[in-house]
Amino acid sequence: MKRHTASTLFIAFTFALFSSCQQTTPPAPTWLSTVDQEVQKLGSFNWIIVAEPSFPALSRSGVTTITTPVCTTEALDGVLQSLDSHSHVRPRIHLTREVAAVTEHDTPGINDYRDKLKQILDERETLTLTNNTLNLLITDARKNYRILVIKTTTSLPYSSVFLELESGYWDGVSETALRKRMIR
């Protein structure tokens, strides 16, 4: 009888152990956890760049680079989810003007990239500037503010996405109204 009870307990314990393992959510990839930790540190005027592999390594204190094993659209989706989960900042999304002009003939895969990018951005407002203009904005911003660069595996020209962070609870319209009231 004791042998039967011990076997039953062992089977029940093993079943409970495996059942609990199957119900747990897998942990986020390390790079995504690092992004989330970095987002918590960032604020207005900081930038996040979800970059193609050839994006230059920025040299200056205040620049953090994370290398990911995923494509740009997957990394961007993870970054946007992280930003959406924090109320202190929201992104102003900048795309390069050149990415719309690159052709499938010259760069196979660019149409698929643009389709996936559109799905991830959904109805989010985006701004389009030339790559040179965006690089100048980054060069100026890194003098005083933090920049987070997330390098991806997407080897398509001009596929980097630039996220300029703004306050999540105060916008430009509110700031303008405040300044007008202060002048009176």
Q: Which residues pair with 66 in a beta bridge?
A: 150
Domain range 30-183, its CATH number among 3.40.1650.10, 3.10.20.30, 3.20.20.100, 3.30.360.10: 3.40.1650.10
For residue 94, give every residue at least 6 positions away whose Cβ sits within 8 Å of its Cβ, in sequence order, or none: 126, 127, 128, 129, 134, 161, 162, 163, 164
Average pLDDT over residues 83-92: 95
Please report the pLDDT score of residue 61 as a whole number. 82
Q: What is the per-residue pLDDT across 108-122, written as a single tens digit (0 to 9) for each?
A: 999 999 999 999 999
Domain ranges of the chain: 30-183
| Residue from 41, 39, 34 nearest 83 by CA | 39
Please report the pLDDT score of residue 103 as a whole number. 96
3-state helix vs strand vs coil in the chain, percent to 5 = 45, 20, 35
143 pLDDT above the threshold of 50: yes
Q: What is the per-residue pLDDT across 12-55, written as a single tens digit (0 to 9) for each?
A: 555 454 444 454 556 667 899 999 999 999 999 999 999 999 99
How much is the mean pLDDT over the chain? 88
Q: What is the per-residue pLDDT across 65-82, written as a single tens digit (0 to 9) for each?
A: 999 999 999 999 999 999
Q: Residue 8: helix, strand or coil by DSSP?
A: helix
Please report the pLDDT score of residue 24 as a whole number. 55
